[in-house]
Amino acid sequence: MASTAAAAGWGLGAVDGVLPPELLLDVLLRLPAGPICRLRAVCRSWLAFTTDPHFVAAHAARHPAPLLAVGVQGFPRLCVDLVDLSGNLVKQILRVGKGRVVSGSSADRVLVAGEDHSVRVLNPTTGSISILPSHRCGGADPSTIAAWFAFGQTASTGECKLVRILLNIDNSRHLSEVITIGDTDGEWRETANPPGYLGWNCTNGVVFKGAAYFILDYCFSDPSFLVRGFMPSFYFATEKWSVALQGPLNRILEESNGTLSYHDLANQLMLSGLKGTLCTSHWNDQFYTVDLWFLTDSEKGTWSKDHRINVDAVFHGIGDYLKVQPLLVTDEGKIVLSMQMGSKGVVQIYDPVTDTSSDIIQISIYTGASVFTGSLLCPQSV
pLDDT reported for residue 239: 92
CB 192 within 8 A of CB 176: yes
The set of long-range contacts for 172-179, using a CB threshold of 8 Å and a minimum separation of 24, is: 172/197, 172/220, 174/198, 175/141, 175/144, 176/234, 176/241, 177/136, 178/236, 178/239, 179/132, 179/133
| Relative orientation angle of helices 53-62 and 44-51, to the nearest 10 degrees | 60
Buried/exposed code over 165-177 (b: 16+ C-beta within 10 A; e: otherwise) = bbbeeeeeebbbb
Residue 166 makes CB contacts below 8 A (sequence gap 6+) with: 117, 141, 144, 145, 146, 147, 174, 175, 176, 177
* Dist. CA 93–CA 232, nearest whole Å: 35
pLDDT reported for residue 381: 41
Return the closest-CA partner of residue 69 out of 55, 58, 77, 80.
80
* Dist. CA 248–CA 301, nearest whole Å: 8
In degrees rounded to 5, what are phi and psi of residue 73? -75, 110
**Alpha helix ranges (H) inside the chain:** 2-10, 21-28, 33-39, 44-51, 53-62, 223-228, 249-255
pLDDT tens string, the chain, 382 residues long: the values are 344 445 444 545 555 556 677 787 888 888 877 788 777 777 787 787 787 878 887 887 777 778 888 888 766 667 888 888 888 888 888 877 777 787 765 667 888 887 667 788 888 887 788 888 776 644 556 677 777 888 888 878 888 889 988 888 777 788 899 998 876 567 888 999 898 888 877 778 899 998 999 988 877 777 776 677 888 999 999 999 998 898 998 899 888 888 888 778 877 888 999 988 999 999 888 788 899 999 999 988 899 999 999 887 666 664 567 788 889 898 889 999 988 877 678 899 999 999 888 889 888 766 788 888 877 776 544 3
Which of helix, strand or coil describes residue 301?
Answer: coil
* Dist. CA 76–CA 172, nearest whole Å: 31
* Dist. CA 131–CA 94, nearest whole Å: 15
**Cα-based torsion angle of the residue sequence 293, 237, 173, 322 in order, rounded to the nearest 10 degrees:** 20
pLDDT reported for residue 168: 80
* Dist. CA 131–CA 147, nearest whole Å: 18
Residue 78 makes CB contacts below 8 A (sequence gap 6+) with: 71, 72, 96, 97, 98, 99, 100, 112, 367
pTM of this prediction exceeds 0.95: no
